[in-house]
Amino acid sequence: MTAESDPIAKSKPDLAATTGYAIAWEDALAPEAGDGTRPAGAEIIAQFVRRLPNSPGVYRMFNAKGDVLYVGKARSLKKRVAAYAKGGGHSNRIARMIGDTANMEFVRTRTETEALLLEANLIKRLRPRYNVLLRDDKSFPYIVITDDHAAPGVFKHRGARIKKRDYFGPFASAGAVTRSINAMQRAFLIRTCSDGVYETRTRPCLLYQIKRCSAPCTGEISLEDYAELVGEAKAFLSGKSSSVQQALSTQMEEASQALDFERAAVYRDRLAALSMVQGHQGINPRGVEEADVFALAQKDGMSCVQVFFFRTGQNWGNRAYFPRADKAVEADEILSQFLAQFYDDKPVPRQILLSHLPQEVDLLAEALTLKAGHKVGVLAPARGEKRDLVDHALLNARESLARRLAESSTQAKLLEGVAEAFGLEEAPRRIEVYDNSHIMGTNAVGAMIVAGPEGFEKNQYRKFNIKNAETVPGDDYGMMREVLTRRFSRLLKESEAMAAEDGIEDGGPQWPDLLLIDGGKGQLSAVMEVLRELGIEDRLTVAGIAKGPDRDAGREKFFMPGKASFMLHERDPVLYFVQRLRDEAHRFAIGSHRARRKKEMVRNPLDEIGGVGPSRKRALLLHFGTAKAVSRAAVADLMAVDGISREMAQIIYDHFHENG
């Protein structure tokens, strides 16, 4: 494999930039034998050992196809790789990995700590077969206070962070964030409206009337007093809940003594709301201010890691993970690799409590401290309140694992039934289901959902806005042809590009084992026409699902190319499973259609003008009131708006008067 044909080699500069470390890539292909072939397994590894330095770094092992088998880190690359070259003493898993190795590549780092962080980065990006892999397709929600505004608001947030804003979290679920924000509205009276709504309010909204907002938008509270409320909210979220409660209690007592019972009632209600915030957090440890608790349970070759988040002395929820790992991998090794990957893109707390202590716990703590910028303690407590927290997490891990094993067993049986019903050689790993949704041809949307051994894979769902001018509105067959053409044309290009890069014929994105279409003979014919045009009709198994008479569930008829139509037994679990797949596709298609229709309904004519972004749009609406008034304005009037130059005013005027 040459550097030019190696897709991983092409990403090296990017990886170095990602980690921010001074690293040197060592590309050392083993020499070819006399017959033009290269050695493999322990023999090729031994050849690499001769040229490796006694310095820390990261190594990657490849098979003959160029797939990454394993990513590892070492204090000494020479000593670590030399261990693989030994003839015996390896577990079956490691022996298989060594036997499959046809090439290796290396990265030197300045320290072993940097090697650990780079290893986690590469594992998450490359997803090697023999590594422990964190399956994490969901981001965590946070509470954000927008300090970059004169009257900061409190909101739920996911995604990238913005400077000059305070973030508090992570929370395990969006529901936990919503409950906390609702309670904080009552406790601190902070606004939750968008900046656009805030700027256009002329009188207090309903939230002010029900005492859940102090209405800084209309001056019901001064910005100075409002800033004090924001400061109290930050103090509470930062762990100073007792001092906030004490201050409110004092103010309530002072108001009561002054016979200002209305003001005293406000403080009383705020104190009650604070108590509810703390009461809804579940287990609130007294001696743990900020920590994440990890507990691992293993059974029948599957692992579950249960994570609990504690911030400001409160339980902010938990989440279960099921990392992919060989059943021979020990619990401490799974936790060690899991933690390094988990914190690759998440803030690190000051304390991490574990059910199993990794062998390299000091190195892990040092790496996380380097990443976080503050000291991080990693420990497996043996007694006391911290041990109780770990035991509680471990109990939840075992229960989650038991549920997943039961679900996996059922799912596996259903997929085997699907294979038998539709003539597949083995249980499908990926099923794609397609459906369309529209109203009289308007806002037409095609939808694709994906299911596999783990159930619905929602991060793989895709929607297709029907935009081909040749597609007749309301033509379901034409819409399905457009959706399938776009989907599989792109899949073909990606597969061909990947094969051209690394020479792997079966490389690239995963193809579906079964294609299910919501429709009968007509829809199936339209789909097969597309697949024949693309030359992949023999590569996919396709089936159409026609609803029963009077749309009676349980009497669906199935159509497949070259086969007679058939039905499944009315009480067959496979039929129920296929119905669930179809209904999920229908739900997703309708939801996507409604979202597009809603967006179309609230669409503003100003959105169609090139160069008019959110800021200029807001300025125009604040100046003229409505988009209709903007359309009637003269160029001179438009120029009077802040941020609108003569050129931009002319563009806006021409947009509304192009037919004039």
pLDDT tens digits for range 491-500: 888 877 666 5
* Chain mean position to CA 531: 32
Of residues 579 and 438, more confidence is placed in: 579
Residues 440 and 531 in one domain: yes
Residues 67 and 21 in one domain: yes
Out of 212, 244, 279, pick the residue that ends a domain: 279
Of residues 660 and 371, more confidence is placed in: 371
Q: Where are the alpha helices (DSSP H) in 310-459?
A: 331-342, 361-372, 384-422
Domain count, the chain: 5
| CATH number of the CATH domain containing 643 | 1.10.150.20
Residues 117 and 158 in one domain: no
Residues 306 and 164 in one domain: no
Confidence of residue 262 (pLDDT cuts 50, 70, 90): low
Give a three-class secondary structure readout of 99-119. HHCCEEEEEECCCHHHHHHHH
Q: Is the pLDDT of residue 519 over 70?
A: yes
Residues 79 and 121 in one domain: yes
pLDDT tens digits for range 410-426: 888 899 999 999 989 89
Residues 304 and 256 in one domain: no
Whether 411 is covered by a domain: the verdict is: no
Q: Which residue carries 């070819």 as its tokens? A: 32
Out of 552, 583, 600, pick the residue that ends a domain: 600
CB 306 within 8 A of CB 396: yes
Q: Is the pLDDT of residue 127 over 50?
A: yes
Q: What's the domain range around 632?
A: 605-656
How many Å apart are CA 507 and CA 510, to the nearest integer? 8
Out of 64, 92, 126, pick the residue that ends a domain: 126
pLDDT tens digits for range 440-456: 657 788 889 999 888 88
Q: How far is CA 114 from CA 13, 19, 83, 109, 359, in A?
A: 16, 9, 22, 6, 18
Residues 464 and 563 in one domain: yes
pLDDT for res 159: 75
| Mean per-residue pLDDT, 339-363 | 87
Residues 349 and 389 in one domain: yes
* Secondary structure class of 613 (helix, strand, coil): coil
Residues 104 and 186 in one domain: no
Q: Is the pLDDT of residue 30 over 50?
A: no
Which candidate, 311, 335, 309, places its Cα nearest to that of 323?
335
Q: Is the pLDDT of residue 44 over 80?
A: yes
**Mean pLDDT computed over every residue of the chain:** 80
Q: Is the pLDDT of residue 430 over 90?
A: yes
Q: How far is CA 251 from CA 19, 233, 244, in A?
A: 50, 16, 11
